[in-house]
Amino acid sequence: MNRREFLVRATIGGVTVPLLITEIGCSEDDGGPGGPGPGSETFVSTLAQGHTHTITISDGDLTAGGAHNYTSSSTGHTHQVNLSAQQIDNLSVGCKVTQVSSNTDNHTHTWEILFADLVTDVQTTSQADTTGHSHTVTVVAEDLVGVPSARSIPTSAPNVGAAHTHSVALDVADYQALQNCNSVLKTTVADSTGHSHTFQIQRA
């Protein structure tokens, strides 16, 4: 069990301010025999020339923000993996970062980095339509971790008027975009009620 604090940057009243968020949870990569120690995660690269490497990123790096550079584990050589300040910010809110290492011995490796325990549900309220009501749709954290697959997600009942729902269809590309901290604009198909709703789904 560990206690993590992450610095999240938010805009309030047009001013960007830091918000310190505390999370208590468990991770199989935190501590334990042979592990990288409390407050860090280790990530394995893609295979190249018959081998892989690892890098370890500390929770403190996410809290501090800014760009960070990492040296991979050695298999007779190492690689440099450089993450920008924006990439560190994306990791701190549970988004995935893909980064290619430096070229050593005529090859590179690619890392797909995701702090899975920082991924949270994403709830979005639609734009109000001509009937004056809106719906909400929730993309659950479980679907944002791992290999994406298409989903049809039911919306909530409207906040006014007769009860009904719509479905928001997300394909693999939509989930990949959300994993990477990009926004997705989706409009429901008009149903028997004769109207549709538009959702701008955005990770925090």
Burial class (CB in 10 A: 0-12, 13-18, 19+), 45: buried
Q: Where are the domains of the chain?
A: 2-118, 122-201
pLDDT at 170 over 60: yes
Phi first, then psi: what are they for 108, rounded to 5°? -125, 170
pLDDT at 202 over 80: yes
Query: Mind listing the pLDDT tens digit for each residue in 72-118?
Result: 999 999 999 999 999 999 999 999 999 999 999 999 999 999 999 99
Given this model, what pLDDT does residue 11 score? 41
As a whole number of angstroms, the distance between CA 174 and CA 180 comes to 10
Max CA distance (Å), the chain: 67
Q: What is the mean pLDDT of residues 19-26?
A: 35
CA-closest candidate to residue 40, choices 69, 4, 93: 4
As a whole number of angstroms, the distance between CA 120 and CA 13 comes to 25
Query: Mind listing the pLDDT tens digit for each residue in 112-143?
Result: 999 999 999 999 999 877 678 889 999 999 99
80 SS3 class? strand
Query: Mind listing the pLDDT tens digit for each residue in 31-49?
Result: 333 333 358 999 999 999 9
pLDDT at 178 over 90: yes
DSSP class of residue 49 equals T
pTM of the model: 0.74
